[in-house]
Amino acid sequence: QSALTQPASVSGSPGQSITISCTGTSGDVGNYNFVSWYQHHPGKAPKLMISEVSKRPSGVSNRFSGSKSGNTASLTISGLQAEDEADYYCCSYAGSDTYVFGTGTKVTVL
Amino acid sequence: QVQLVQSGAEVEKPGASVKVSCKASEYTLTGYYMHWVRQAPGQGLEWMGWIYFNSGGTKYAQKFQGRVTMTRDTSISTAYMELSRLGSDDTAVYFCARDPGSLGYFDLWGRGTLVTVSS
């Protein structure tokens, strides 16, 4: 099972919007609406930001949104803030009770 | 405060085994799946497998089949991940992550356990 493909880094200025892509295949992202996104500050526990493609858990800012088209899922962060600087990972169900993570994206707030 | 508390850092020699624990504080893990995910230095997250707390049923990533064993102790709401025949490429931070119902997401994570494999 190959990792989902994410850009290594994305940057933006405070207040801007950025989008992180997550490209898989018809065997994972393209076939299931079980794509989730995680924010990870090194040394801390990862945090769930989006579940089931576009659902935002309680307590997560509405500046975070998720979507999917074909084999590519996306996470958009609007109104970028300094605290959003972190690593972001997508994850997809890949069939047969297995899961696969993305390669990870480092978000830098300029 | 609801959290997953993992065991402390480990240093093991190549060929040895390591067992990492993950305890739920303030609640029971009954009804949940517990996944294990690792992150090697400078690398991304890698899914290793899950255990269903009710039955003890497991599913492992093909990469770790034959080397990983996930167990649980329901009496103390603790999950375990044992990895055998360690190599240097198993040096990583190992996370446990709670799955509330096999809906493909992990709503609570531990802070990770660093396992270093070194001779």
- The residues on A that touch B, with CB distances below 8 Å, are 1, 3, 32, 34-36, 38, 40, 43-48, 51-52, 57, 89, 91-93, 96-104
Least confident among A16-25, B22-31, B39-48, B55-64: B22-31
pLDDT tens digits, one per residue of B71-96: 999 999 999 999 999 999 999 999 99
CB contact under 8 A, B50 and A97: yes
Kindly list the residues from chain B whose CB atom is less than 8 angstroms away from the CB atom of residue A89. Answer: 44-45
CA nearest to A107, candidates A43, A45, A21: A21
Over residues B47-52, the mean pLDDT reads 97
CB contact at 8 A, B36 and B45: no
The overall average pLDDT reported for chain A is: 97
Both structure tokens of B22? 């993950």
Q: pLDDT tens for residues B50-78? A: 999 999 999 999 999 999 999 999 999 99
The tens digit of pLDDT for each residue in A15-55 reads 999 999 999 999 999 999 999 999 999 999 999 999 999 99
Annotate B25-60 with three-state secondary structure.
ECCCCCCCEEEEEEECCCCCEEEEEEEECCCCCEEE
Are A64 and A20 within 8 A, CB to CB? Answer: no
Mean pLDDT of chain B: 95
Which pLDDT score is estimated for B30? Answer: 84
